[in-house]
Structure 1
Amino acid sequence: MRGIGFAMLGGACITMQGVANARISQDMGTWPAATVTQLTGFLMALVILSFVRDGRRHWVKQVNPLYLLGGALAAPIIFSEVTAIRHIGVTLTISALLIAQLSLTFVIDAGGWFGVPKKRITAAHCIGIAMMIAGVLILKM
């Protein structure tokens, strides 16, 4: 249950961040807005890290160097989300983002990428994605 709560909080924050970024990008441009977002996110994480010591001291040495670049994905994420919000609005953007996320997670689970245990993708998974896509198409009408 706790995981669901954190997922809901994260989803709400992603949506609010997208809307805020779309707004500030109108004033300063998309890439400056992405830069400000990354900087403020880094500073917030640094402040939280100074209070919450939940990791080991030599954490960087224990992580695959490729995975340390995951934060760099935030730049194209922010650019894509801000641009999409301006073109199709918040609801369709978030809906499309969720479909893209779920579709890629199916591929990651099925292939066992990034060290996750392999999982079989069922017809129910495919039907769920198809229903989400149908929902987005209905929203677009």
Structure 2
Amino acid sequence: MKGSFFAFIGGAFITLQGVANSRISQDIGTWQTATLTQLTGFLTALSILFFVRDKKWLGLKRVKPVYLTSGALAALIIFGNVTAIHQIGATMTVSMLLIAQLSLTFLIDSKGWFGMVKQRMRLPHFIGIGLMIAGVIILRF
């Protein structure tokens, strides 16, 4: 239940961030918006980290170096979302984003990539992705 709540809140924040970033980019540009968003995100996370004060930094040595670059993906995510919202609107952008996320996580889970526990995919999983794609097609027309 708690995980579902955080997933819902995270999804709502992604949408709010995308729309806000799209508006900001009209005034200052897309890469400037990505920079500003990354900076404010860093400062917010750093502030929360100082407040929480956990000692998990010691485990940083165990993290594979390739995973340490994941923050760089955020700049590309912001750029992609802002550009898509300008071109196809917020609803279609979020719809396509969800299909892309679901499809890639489906592959990650079914193949056990990135050290994830391999999950067996069944017919309802395929039907769910198919219904989402059908929904986007219906939204488009």
Q: Which residue of 2 aligns with 1:89?
A: 89
When normalised by structure 1's length, the TM-score is: 0.96
Structure 1 residue 52: Cα displacement: 1.1
Structure 1 residue 55: Cα displacement: 4.3
Count residues with an aligned counterpart.
141
When normalised by structure 2's length, the TM-score is: 0.96
- Measured on the aligned residues, the alpha-carbon RMSD in Å equals 1.0
Structure 1 residue 36: Cα displacement: 0.3
* Separation in structure 2 between the aligned mates of residue 20 and residue 103 of structure 1, nearest angstrom: 26
* Separation in structure 1 between the aligned mates of residue 55 and residue 8 of structure 2, nearest angstrom: 24
State the 4+ residue runs in structure 1 displaced beyond 6 angstroms: none
Unaligned runs of 5+ in 1: none
Unaligned runs of 5+ in 2: none
Pair 1:37-2:37 in alignment: yes
Task: Rate the CA distance shift 1:70–1:125 in 2: closer, same or farther, 3 A.
Answer: same
* Separation in structure 1 between the aligned mates of residue 25 and residue 78 of structure 2, nearest angstrom: 10
Deviations along 1:98-133, whole A, 9 cap, x unmatched?
A: 000000001101111111011122221111111001
Q: Which residue of 2 aligns with 1:71?
A: 71
Deviations along 1:72-94, whole A, 9 cap, x unmatched?
A: 10011001000000111111100
1:103 partner amino acid: S
* Separation in structure 2 between the aligned mates of residue 9 and residue 48 of structure 1, nearest angstrom: 17
